[in-house]
Structure 1
Amino acid sequence: MTARELPLVVGVDGSEPSLRAVDWAADEAALRGVPLRVVYASLWERYEGSALAEDLAKPYEEVRADDIVATAARRAHRRRPEVKVSADVLAEEPEYALVREGRSASALVLGTRGRSGLVEMLLGSVSLAVAAHADCPVIVLRGGHDNRGGTGTHGRVVVGVGEKGTDSAALRFAFEEARLRHAALDAVRAWRCPAHESTDHPLLAGEPARLHEEAAAEVLEKALRDAPADVDLHRRTVEGPARRVLLAASHEADLLVVGARRNPGHLGLQLGRVAHAVLHHAACAVAVVPERE
């Protein structure tokens, strides 16, 4: 099965944010021309059964995994009748189930649940664990965001360009997303001038900063030298920490794409500080794309 035939997988738990993720995933599947697979991991009910009942406005005893996936599948079909939709209940912890599903998926789509302003700022443990370990891109929709996957409000995708400045899975994913959405793509490289390199001499003022900015531009050009001609590409070098630069850019984007290095010998979270920060605080959907060492 080729990448173009692999299904898009969306994880659901019955909450309103997960149903918005279903809408987003249905739009994304339609753009990609791939099937949509709706997955519910049944062990969630053990820990969050009463909360699910509240979200679904049903007595707890009536909340069932089959109801949740059936409702989500019907919602996806109503939104995108042209998309082939399947649904499944998996008797596993959600983190393990979704990571395994990602091995045969074009991408995973997840929502986050929040019941207060503070909680909505933070990423759920399931989404964080899946984004840190999945073998495919993971698209996380934060709690307060809309459900328009293919028709965003800004017409813009942002991708962070790493230090190595080489072709990467994250760049390729961003090119494809921009192309599918007919959106502009901002390729952003953040740069900083260390404090110890600054000078008070009036003839040299700004020289260290200029050199760092030029180096960032060179990294960007190297990364984008094979960019497809049919993408409306914008190159941006911005002074500041990468986390802050990308979070600022997320306010004018429909999707923020970042790479996450994967080390097969490492068992902990494999995200990096930048990916971790944007997953928690971005103002738009975030796609974390695994990069193999």
Structure 2
Amino acid sequence: MAADPNVIVGIDASPGAEAALDWAADVAVARHDQLRICHAWRVAVHPLLDADRGHLVEAAREAAEELVRRAERRVRERHPELDVSTELLPGEPAVNLMSMAEGADLLVVGARGLNRFTALLLGSVSETLAAHSTCPLAVVRTTASGEGPLVVGVAPDEPQEPVEFAFAEAERRGVPVRAVRGWLYPQTLPGHVVVPAVEAVEIDRAERKEVTALLAPVRERFPTVAVRIEVGLAEPEAALVDASGEASLVVVGARRHRGRFGLPLGPVTRRVLHHARCPVVVVPV
């Protein structure tokens, strides 16, 4: 378990790993945290002779060591003042990273989706961590950039943890918060939603009032953070994905389900993780 404030970044040899590494280092500097660079490595089981297997394991270990050395050099060149350490984790990446991240401020990984279906863009390790990590998880894509506002999803029963994380991060970055909520309306016919204008105004007003009340305690603790509340007729996940286009970060709560047949993550969190156009932080609740 981590004893000191630290940001942990899990890296591999994929293109997205460098973006995650750079993003994690920048966050660690802003937080005055340590940065721990971790790489989980393993050798696939093959029907090889013991002598050949030993050579394969040694080659894999050397490649892993070189990977973390390069990562450490990259970070030290960009942030020579940052406290950086590295660690090799033999075995399953998701399990090892979850263990390392217990007590950490933040766990950071890249989005490495290799599935043939284009809708599944996240990667099994990232999605496993999003479903089970005990600390906030940041998933960073290779296209992550920008100094835009910080977007936080505010559901009707939103816990305080994601909102507090969003405001604290916005204060560190010096950017405003966009608190986003989408509301739905019964369909009159499949694919057709007709909302009377007067009723839409009333719903907007009620939703905005509720979001304002939910944010009030956090706004008192972060009075310097500018806030814009956005509500409207939209699927909540679609509203957040759309807002991500101009955002520097999206924060969502991890609504985890432990039913026998259900997926661990709720549909809003999963869709935002798969389709957001900026880094996403999933805060366990």
TM-score of the aligned structures, taking structure 1 as reference length = 0.82
Equivalent pair of 1:39/1:87 in contact (CA under 8 Å): yes
Partner of 2:247: 253
Map 1:143-292; keep pairs closer than 5 Å.
144-146=142-144, 152-165=145-158, 168-195=160-187, 205-226=196-217, 227=219, 228-262=222-256, 269-291=263-285
Map 1:12-161; keep pairs closer than 5 Å.
12-43=11-42, 45-46=43-44, 61=59, 64-113=63-112, 122-142=121-141, 144-146=142-144, 152-161=145-154
Gaps of 5+ in 2: 46-57
RMSD across aligned positions (CA): 3.0
Partner of 1:149: none
- Cα deviation for residue 186 of structure 1 reads 0.5
Classify the secondary structure of the residue corresponding to 2:254: strand
Aligned CA distance change for structure 1 residues 266 and 157 (closer, same or farther; 3 Å)? farther
TM-score of the aligned structures, taking structure 2 as reference length = 0.84
Partner amino acid for 1:129? Answer: T
Aligned CA distance change for structure 1 residues 192 and 119 (closer, same or farther; 3 Å)? closer
Number of equivalences: 267
Cα deviation code 1:238-291 (max 9, x no counterpart): 220001111100000010100013467889753210010011011111111111
Partner amino acid for 1:185? Answer: V
Cα deviation code 1:97-125 (max 9, x no counterpart): 11112212101110123579975961111
Equivalent pair of 2:255/2:269 in contact (CA under 8 Å): no
Aligned CA distance change for structure 1 residues 231 and 266 (closer, same or farther; 3 Å)? farther
